Amino acid sequence: MKKLIVICFVLSLICAGCAAFQQKQTASDTPAPSKPQGFNQQFYGFPDVPVPKEVDIVNERSFVYETPAFKAGVIVFSGNVEPASLENYFKINMSKNGWRYINSFRYKDTVLNYVKDDKTCNIKISRGAFQTELEIWVGPADKGSITRPDPMDGKK
């Protein structure tokens, strides 16, 4: 009986060590932020799109395509964060990075749409069973479709 208890104890130590090693290895695989980190933000792929530190990148579902003319792609994150908290985070921090809020859609998921110069950013926040998923899509904007506020509007 004592041998069985000792064997179970040793096996549990081995399993715990393997899990800790695997977790440490996946943490080192994430790309380094492209800009100095702020109080509660980091930057992946796009230096003007802040991401809260409470979410972790999902490398298998993320990609960034870059040419000399533009950079586009999708970066996926997940974490144990309330969707409403993420929505508030982006509403505050995107404008600080020069993005202009266009609109949002909300029901089961929340989608926030932003525009900046010649690019757009779409942020999708989804609540799963155990994690919240965050998708950030950045791509070029059609310059003819971007409507800017008219400074002379209402001054006639």
Mean pLDDT over residues 10-20, rounded? 52
Lowest mean pLDDT of 7-11, 21-25, 38-42, name the range: 21-25
Mean pLDDT over residues 128-142, rounded? 92
Q: Give me the residue spans of the domains in the chain.
A: 41-140
Closest CA to 125 of 76, 74, 92: 76
Closest CA to 84 of 114, 106, 101: 106
List CB contacts of 115: < 8 A, sequence separation 6 or more. Answer: 99, 100, 102, 121, 141, 146
Residue 36: its pLDDT value, please? 44
Mean pLDDT over residues 121-142, rounded? 93
Output the DSSP codes for 54-107: TSEE-GGG-EEEE-SS-EEEEEEEEES--HHHHHHHHHHHHHHTT-EEEEEEES
CATH number of 41-140: 3.40.1000.10
Residue 109 confidence (pLDDT) above 80: yes
Name the pLDDT band for 120 (thresholds 50, 70, 90): very high
Question: Are 90 and 123 in contact, with CB atoms under 8 Å apart?
Answer: yes
Type of residue numbered 128: G
Residue 70: its pLDDT value, please? 85
Residue 35: its pLDDT value, please? 44
List CB contacts of 113: < 8 A, sequence separation 6 or more. Answer: 101, 102, 103, 104, 120, 121, 122, 123
Question: Are 42 and 49 in contact, with CB atoms under 8 Å apart?
Answer: no
Name the most confidently modeled range: 4-8, 26-30, 123-127. 123-127
Residue 115: its pLDDT value, please? 96
pLDDT 10s digits, 33-90: 444 444 566 777 888 899 999 999 999 999 999 998 889 999 999 999 999 999 999 9
Residue 46: its pLDDT value, please? 86
* Cα angle 55, 60, 66; round to 5: 95
Stated pTM of the model: 0.67
